[in-house]
Amino acid sequence: MATYESDGFQSIEILIENNYGSAPSQAELGQWANTAGLQTVPVLNDGSYTNWVQYEKDFYIPTTVFIGPDMTVLSVDEGISNPGYFIP
């Protein structure tokens, strides 16, 4: 996704559970980031499901959500994985 950083694209990763079905700890978030090579991507915890339920449509993972710079939801689980789709 670094290809689109100059266009203002920012990726985040949100984890809702660890391997045991509990909210992930800070250490687990860091481990996930390291394992997945997400050194420049914030990895956040939503173990309370506060935000997940607002953006989950098909109840499968991963859920991919694109939000525009004006905070408009552009796409939720529509099979789009390339942020370049939204760049004019």
* Tens digits of residue pLDDT in 18-42: 889 899 999 999 998 999 888 888 8
What backbone torsions phi and psi does residue 61 show, to the nearest 5 degrees?
-115, 150
Which band of pLDDT confidence, cut at 50, 70 and 90, is reported for residue 82?
confident
List pLDDT tens digits, range 37-76: 888 888 888 888 887 777 777 777 777 888 888 888 888 8
Determine the pLDDT at residue 1. Answer: 60
CA 87 to chain centre: 18
Determine the pLDDT at residue 24. Answer: 92
